[in-house]
């Protein structure tokens, strides 16, 4: 069974990026190494601060879209509900 992950990455100044992947370790590495051109590289988004896992790709896509539509305050509350210190969760991958 394949796993899918909805994740939120942050920059040191807490600019946020929400994404979805089927390989969290690889994707976090790509963000950290600046291999993802565009927004995440421009704003140095390198810290994995939130993760959800599901076995349903459609559910992961829907959840990513849902979180992306939220206000910044709601995203911050979601992150802080499980990671109040904003630790880099990629260190545990």
Find the radius of gyration of the CA atoms of the chain: 12
CATH numbers and ranges of domains, the chain: 4-92 (3.40.1440.10)
Task: Say if residues 48 and 26 touch (Cβ distance below 8 Å).
Answer: no
pLDDT at 5: 98
Between 59 and 93, the higher pLDDT residue: 59
Give the ranges where the chain is alpha helix by DSSP (H): 24-32, 39-42, 57-69, 72-82
Tell me the pLDDT tens digit for each residue of 19-54.
Answer: 999 999 999 999 999 998 899 999 999 999 999 999
pLDDT at 1: 84
Would you say residue 57 has pLDDT above 90? yes
d(CA 42, CA 84): 25
User: Mean of the per-residue pLDDT values for the chain?
Assistant: 96
pLDDT at 92: 85
């Amino acid at each position: 069974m394949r796993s899918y992950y909805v994740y939120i990455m942050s920059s040191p100044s807490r600019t946020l990026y929400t994404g979805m992947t089927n390989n969290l370790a690889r994707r976090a590495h790509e963000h950290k190494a600046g291999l993802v051109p565009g927004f995440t590289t421009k704003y140095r988004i390198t810290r994995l601060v939130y993760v959800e896992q599901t076995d349903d790709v459609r559910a992961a896509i829907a959840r990513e879209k849902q979180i992306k539509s939220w206000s910044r305050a709601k995203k911050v509350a979601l992150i802080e509900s499980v990671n109040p210190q904003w630790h880099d969760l990629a260190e545990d991958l």
